[in-house]
Amino acid sequence: MPLFFIIVLQKGLKENFADAQASVVDCPDLTQEPFNFPAKGICGKPRIADVGGVPYLIPVVHKEKVYDLNMVAKDIELPGAFILGAGAASSKILGVNAELIPIVQTKSEKKPAVNGSYIAQINPADKGCLLEKYSSKYTDCEFGLLANLYASEGQPGKVIEVKANGRTGELNFVSCLRQILEKHYGEKPVGMGGTFIIQKGKAKIHIMPPEFSACPLNTDEDVNNWLKFFEMKAPLICQPVIVSRDPKTNRILGCIKRSVASRSREVILPLVRPHLKCCIQLWGPKKVMDLLERVQRRAMKVIRGLEHLSCEERLRELGLFSLEKRRLRGDLTVVFQYFKRAYKKDGERLFTRACSDRRGNGFKLKEGRFRLDIRKKFFTMRVGFDLRVEHTHCFSHHGEGGHYHQDTSPDSVQYLGYLLPAELLFRIDRPPETHLVGRD
């Protein structure tokens, strides 16, 4: 592990904590207290998987989205992987909504799966936290809607030990680590995962209610009003999954150019076009559309045989429209469908027919009013991989756990973490439509 990487982490942590240290150590035996994991370490082919996503939970839930950690291990090309992370429990299995703290040694050809996961849900008796071992009631390895996972062979080895005491800045421990990576590596995405302990202090934790919201959750305020927040005490064993940033389409194009030998239109176009097609209904300023158009122009230049043609000639040769024209066509199609009552409920929220005594065609629309933050955050957009760049769940041996937000005792808080950069990133079942709400 490069020394400069450790130096960068330590320097960045000291900007947010009174005392911070980063060093390379042997991974402690994670089968022992306080972890009690089914694997001894977090080393061996480390990788990150982002499965499903927040759009399957909000604004309205997609209960049909159910996954299996054993299948995820195969999808990330690591059967028998040891998996940690943060996700949502399967409501089809539990009958209610709950937070999942996945700790699973997935099955291999020689061994069955060992599920050491926890579930955190609202206790129906006192409305407090109810933390239970998953295996005490269930025998499967399923989860629902979304999960951010760190996977490895579960072997001992060298890891990064991080100590941070006395928070002096505004960032939580996980956000601080992520922003250090983003600042140092820029556009290059770097992932990291593992485990850390809040040894002293208290933390703000949320648990999702047992029932999904009956009304669409359209804003962060809606989501926060729906969630149940608690202050939980240390020690808390946490499982962070971090990606420094979501790689964008320009970087995807760069990866294609470096790794794909063929320059034929049959190969290049299917790799690039889907990322751009899903951006065309994006609500945004002209400079965003100009950026997307530039990416398309760069992609067309890669295709062999079109180098000498102008941009318009390349589009004609490939039988394509500019993204601006595709966006206009998409808008017109949606408006036509509103008139035909295909989207009756949503259409009435967006448009109404303008009433007038004057002569006209009877098909003039009156635009509805929108809150600016909704328009800003909700759009059909897949500029990158739609990654959740931070997601951390925690459990304890005193009956508390859930989704980590921030320590609430900055003067006394103490963190001790064992982390490792990931070698690979896998995106599984990315939602076709996304937004920026509920990503805390």
Q: Give pLDDT tens digits for 354-390.
A: 555 555 555 555 554 444 443 333 333 334 678 999 9
Q: What share of the chain is helix, strand, coil (3-state, %, to 5)?
A: 30, 30, 40
pLDDT at 375: 37
* Per-chain mean pLDDT for the chain: 84
Structure tokens given for 58: 């909000």
Element (H, E) at 313: helix 311-318
Percent of the chain with pLDDT over 90: 60
CA distance linking residue 240 with residue 97, whole number of Å: 21
Residue tagged 């922003």 (tokens): 179
pLDDT at 285 over 60: no
Distances in Å between the Cα of 405 and the Cα atoms of 180, 205, 231 are 18, 6, 10
CA proximity to 155, closest of 22, 45, 24, 71: 45
pLDDT digits (tens, 9 = 90+) for 8-25: 899 999 999 999 999 999
| Better-scored residue on pLDDT, 249 or 258 | 258
Residue tagged 């909700």 (tokens): 378
Percent of the chain with pLDDT over 70: 75
| Contact (CB, 8 A) for 165 and 393 | no
Distances in Å between the Cα of 131 and the Cα atoms of 28, 223, 247, 270 are 25, 22, 35, 46
- Domains of the chain plus CATH, in order, are 3-246+386-435 (3.30.1330.80), 249-379 (no CATH)
pTM of the entire predicted model: 0.74
pLDDT at 262: 65
Strands (E), 201-321: 202-207, 228-233, 236-243
Distances in Å between the Cα of 22 and the Cα atoms of 4, 5, 36, 218, 416 are 11, 9, 24, 40, 10
The DSSP annotation for 14-40 comes to HTTEEEEEEEEEEPP-TTSTTT--SSS
pLDDT at 287: 52
Q: What is the largest CA-CA distance in the chain?
A: 81
Evaluated on CA atoms 10, 181, 431, 44, the torsion sign reads: negative
Residue tagged 């202090």 (tokens): 201
Structure tokens given for 210: 């047992």
The mean pLDDT value for 416-437 works out to 90
Distances in Å between the Cα of 355 and the Cα atoms of 91, 334, 344, 364 are 46, 21, 18, 8
pLDDT at 412: 96
pLDDT digits (tens, 9 = 90+) for 54-109: 999 999 999 999 999 999 999 999 999 999 999 999 999 999 999 999 999 999 99
pLDDT at 121 over 60: yes
pLDDT digits (tens, 9 = 90+) for 166-225: 999 999 999 999 999 999 888 788 999 999 999 999 999 999 999 999 999 989 999 999
CA distance linking residue 20 with residue 37, whole number of Å: 26
pLDDT at 269: 63
The mean pLDDT value for 331-342 works out to 66
| Better-scored residue on pLDDT, 209 or 271 | 209
CA proximity to 407, closest of 197, 224, 242: 197
Band of pLDDT at residue 338, cut at 50, 70 and 90: low
- Alpha helix ranges (H) inside 209-280: 220-226, 249-259, 265-277
| Better-scored residue on pLDDT, 293 or 174 | 174
pLDDT digits (tens, 9 = 90+) for 311-335: 778 778 877 777 677 767 766 776 6
CA distance linking residue 249 with residue 247, whole number of Å: 7
The mean pLDDT value for 126-134 works out to 96
| Better-scored residue on pLDDT, 166 or 4 | 166
CA proximity to 235, closest of 27, 31, 415, 20: 415
The mean pLDDT value for 348-358 works out to 53
Chain mean position to CA 402: 17
